[in-house]
Every structure is written in structure tokens, then in C-alpha cells.
Amino acid sequence: QVQLVESGGGLVQAGDSLRLSCAASGRTFTTSAMGWFRQAPGKEREFVAAISWSSTRTVYTDSVKGRFTISRDNAKNTMYLQMSSLKAEDTAVYYCAETWRASWFRDKAFDYWGQGTQVTVSS
């Protein structure tokens, strides 16, 4: 049983920074790819960033490139999303996700999900 728990969300002002964390338990954290997705009110959930189990591969959606950094600490079974220069359009519920699919880098398909953490950016 995989459990993913996000934390670190909150209310910030435009231009601020915030770091999200995702703690994993259950199946081993290593060998899996991890990712962040977000869903804004009235919109579909969208891919934000993902990272391989060895951290050698990362991928970002265009709108966050240069502002967000994904990382993971396998010894702590935790993944992070460092967000800087936040914009109002970054407001969403952020979800972490995990997968063992080999195709994750190409199709951004993930199998296990956390409950989400709210990020609100005021302009």
C-alpha cells in the first residue's frame, strides 16, 4: 500500500517562495518516479514536474521552468517542490504522485496520489 502525504501549502503573495513536501510510505520509495500535479478551480489537473528515482532525470511544464525545482531525498522517502517567483496563476491544489511505469517521462502517467495541499498566491 502506497501512501503519499503532501505538506507545505499555504497563502503567499506574488513573488514569494514556498516549498512543498511529499512524504511516501508503504512500498519502497526508491526505483519509482515521483511527480507533482496541480488543479486550479474549474480546471483539469495538470502536470507540473517529475523526477526519476535517481534524480538524474527531471521534467517540467513550460509555465514553471526556471521558477520551480523538483528534488527528492530517498533516504527520507520525501520529495520536494521548491517554488519561487510565485504568480497568481500558480494558485491550485498541488498533488504528489508516484509510479513505477517506465513510460512516465514520456506520458506523465502516474498511479498513486496524495490528497493534495492548497497553494494560494495573492496578487
Q: Which residues of 23-59 are buried (b: 16+ CB within 10 A; e: fewer)?
A: bbeeeebeebbbbbbbeeeeeeeebbbbbbbeeeeeb
Check residue 26 and give its pLDDT.
86
Q: Report residue 12 as a C-alpha cell.
A: 503567499
How sure is the predictor about 105, in pLDDT bands with cuts at 50, 70 and 90? Answer: confident
pLDDT digits (tens, 9 = 90+) for 58-96: 999 999 999 999 999 999 999 999 999 999 999 999 999
Asked if pLDDT for residue 28 goes beyond 70, the answer is no
SS3 of 74-120: the string is HHHCEEEEEECCCCHHHCEEEEEEEECCCCHHHHCCCCEECCCEEEE
